[in-house]
């Protein structure tokens, strides 16, 4: 009977340890804990106009594709056909991740190009700022496109 009691005690200790581990802080930041953009970040607060898709393709759109990142991490702009809104997370090592990008659903003749602009943003993994230009790179280090700071 003594063996049964110590087996149950051990089981209770293991269950208590498991519950304590589950109740602890999550290992990855939750949505509210995600790093936010700050107003002194060089990407934040600037209007960025599309310059190139890939390394050399210029798009002719009814409206200039652009975006602005607010200090709270919200993104607003235009894909060339539709207004877009979403969120961005800026991290160490020039990491960038656009999330929840959504736009109005108005059509235009260049809707496929507008989708390419949005896809570029959603695929961005890292960025590089060179003077007045912002370049997005994919996870494979391939250039996705470039933006120019509006005057």
Residue spans of the domains in the chain: they are 2-31, 32-149
pLDDT in tens, the chain (151 residues): 444 444 444 333 333 333 333 343 333 343 444 445 555 688 999 999 999 999 888 988 878 999 999 999 999 999 999 999 999 999 999 999 999 998 877 778 888 899 999 999 999 999 999 999 999 999 999 999 999 999 7
Distances (CA, A) of 74 to 40, 41, 68, 100: 15, 14, 8, 10
Q: Which CATH number fits domain 32-149: 3.10.20.30, 2.40.128.270, 3.40.50.300, 3.40.50.720?
A: 2.40.128.270
For the entire predicted model, the pTM comes to: 0.71
What count of other Cβ atoms lies within 10 Å of the Cβ of residue 90?
20
């Amino acid at each position: 009977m003594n063996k049964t009691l110590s087996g149950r005690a051990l089981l209770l200790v293991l269950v208590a340890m498991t519950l304590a581990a589950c109740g602890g802080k999550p290992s990855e930041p939750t949505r509210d804990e995600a790093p936010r953009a700050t107003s002194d970040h060089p990407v934040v607060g600037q209007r960025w106009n599309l310059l190139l898709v890939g390394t050399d393709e210029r798009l002719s759109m009814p409206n200039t594709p652009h975006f602005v990142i607010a200090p709270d991490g919200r993104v607003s702009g235009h894909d060339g056909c539709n207004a877009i809104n979403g969120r961005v997370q800026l991290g160490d090592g020039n990491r960038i991740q656009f999330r929840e990008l959504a736009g109005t659903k108005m059509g235009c003749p260049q809707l496929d190009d507008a989708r390419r602009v949005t896809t570029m943003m959603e695929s961005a993994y890292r960025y590089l700022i060179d003077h007045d230009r912002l370049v997005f790179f994919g996870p494979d280090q391939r250039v996705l496109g470039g933006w120019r700071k509006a005057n």
